[in-house]
Amino acid sequence: MTIADFIRAVAALALTLGLVIGAFWGARRFGLTRPGGAGNRATPAESRGPGPIRLLDRHTLGPGRMLVVVRWGGADHLIGLGPAFCTLIARHEVSTGTTTEPTS
């Protein structure tokens, strides 16, 4: 093995590792590693979920920020989530069809 062969092998290894790391970074950046994938939709198993709380939908807004729709107690709740907060944005009564916004 000559020095040229060694350099070529190291360069090929570096290129391969760079592509793998880049693919993982891209998948994480665009939300492909989270349940629901790129569409940011709840999977059927999540939407059915056991118990009285069901995740109906979610949408990623940016790093660490998302909107979720949760059905609980006969109402759908639109909730904003962030690194240090959880805010109820709106509540929609399923039985009556009325939507209310929380008062501050």
More confident residue, 30 or 18: 18
What three-state secondary structure class fits 97? coil
d(CA 69, CA 87): 12
pLDDT (0 to 100) of residue 50: 56
Mean pLDDT of all residues in 28-52 = 57
Which residues, other chains included, contact 59 with Cβ-Cβ below 8 Å and sequence gap of 6+? 40, 66, 67, 68
Q: How far is CA 99 from CA 6, 25, 71, 72, 103, in A?
A: 68, 39, 13, 14, 13
pLDDT (0 to 100) of residue 20: 95
Domain ranges of the chain: 1-30, 39-104
pLDDT at 57 over 50: yes
pLDDT (0 to 100) of residue 35: 53
Mean pLDDT of all residues in 66-70 = 93
> 91: closest CA among 72, 104, 77?
77
